[in-house]
């Protein structure tokens, strides 16, 4: 299912009890994991539906400098249905990502620093989101899931690491330090 393109949901489907229950189930799954985003294909459903929430408590282990460099701020819970993403800047922001579908691993992934997303919300109402920094990264990662793309398809292959090694060697490094470390990988991509 992770490699399948998800189908759009019709507006009447979004309001159905089935989809509303699914949204609550996905929210619980996201909280239990814990994670910052979850797409329906990750739970075996080929639908263009994602839930996102980046809680303040998930950022507690990062220093103020790390939060600033990653442009990471809390993002309240929300639902995106049938999202269309517009990349507003080049995919030049490199940082480590993980995924609930590939537990225990991390890799550096180039992402755009700024994006816009048009979608429907949990009630089927249109929304437009302009995001930057870490929130833009989350949106790109989740929309990729709806297209059958995983972060490992976009990663800098030499940076692929277990979560333990990421925590031991890379977690507190600045983006500049990481770029110096993996600079040779750019020529190979």
pLDDT of residue 153: 98
| 6 is a domain residue | no
- The answer to whether residues 36 and 54 touch, using CB atoms and an 8 Å cutoff, is yes
- Overall residue count recorded for the chain in this entry: 189
The string of pLDDT tens digits covering residues 127-167 is 999 999 999 999 999 999 999 999 999 999 999 999 999 99
Catalytic machinery residues: 142
pLDDT of residue 87: 97
Q: What's the predicted TM-score (pTM) here? A: 0.93
H helices of the chain, in order, are 11-14, 17-32, 64-70, 133-146, 151-154, 163-165, 175-181, 183-188
Residue 104: CATH number of its domain:
3.90.45.10
| 2 is a domain residue | no
Query: Which pLDDT band, with edges at 50, 70 and 90, does 184 fall under?
Result: low
Q: Region 172-185: what's the mean pLDDT? A: 80
Q: Which residues contact 44 (CB under 8 A, 6 or more apart)?
A: 1
| 1 is a domain residue | no
| CA diameter of the chain | 51
- The answer to whether residues 102 and 41 touch, using CB atoms and an 8 Å cutoff, is no
| 5 is a domain residue | no
Tell me how many domains the chain contains: 1
Give dist(CA 67, CA 165) in Å, integer: 21
| 20 is a domain residue | yes
pLDDT of residue 82: 98
The string of pLDDT tens digits covering residues 69-106 is 999 999 999 999 999 999 999 888 999 999 999 999 99
Q: Which residues contact 48 (CB under 8 A, 6 or more apart)?
A: 6, 7, 8, 9, 40, 81, 82, 83, 146
| 3 is a domain residue | no
Token output for 86: 């517009």
Domain that holds residue 150: 11-188
């Amino acid at each position: 299912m992770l490699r399948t393109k998800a189908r759009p949901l019709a507006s009447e489907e979004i309001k159905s009890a089935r989809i509303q229950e699914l949204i609550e189930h996905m929210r619980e799954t996201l909280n239990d994991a814990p994670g910052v985003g979850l797409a329906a294909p990750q739970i075996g459903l080929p639908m263009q539906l994602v839930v996102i929430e980046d809680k303040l408590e998930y950022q507690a282990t990062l220093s103020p400098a790390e939060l600033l460099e990653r442009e990471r701020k809390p993002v309240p819970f929300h639902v995106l249905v049938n999202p269309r993403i517009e990349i507003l800047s080049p995919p030049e922001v490199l940082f480590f990502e993980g995924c609930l579908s590939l537990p225990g691993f991390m890799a550096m992934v180039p992402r755009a620093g700024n994006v816009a997303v048009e979608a429907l919300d949990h009630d089927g109402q249109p929304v437009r989101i302009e995001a930057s920094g870490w929130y833009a990264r989350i949106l790109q990662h989740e929309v990729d899931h709806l297209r059958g793309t995983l972060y490992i398809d976009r990663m800098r292959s030499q940076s692929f690491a277990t979560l333990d090694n990421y925590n031991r060697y890379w977690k507190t490094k600045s983006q500049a330090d990481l770029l110096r470390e993996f600079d040779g990988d750019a020529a190979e991509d």
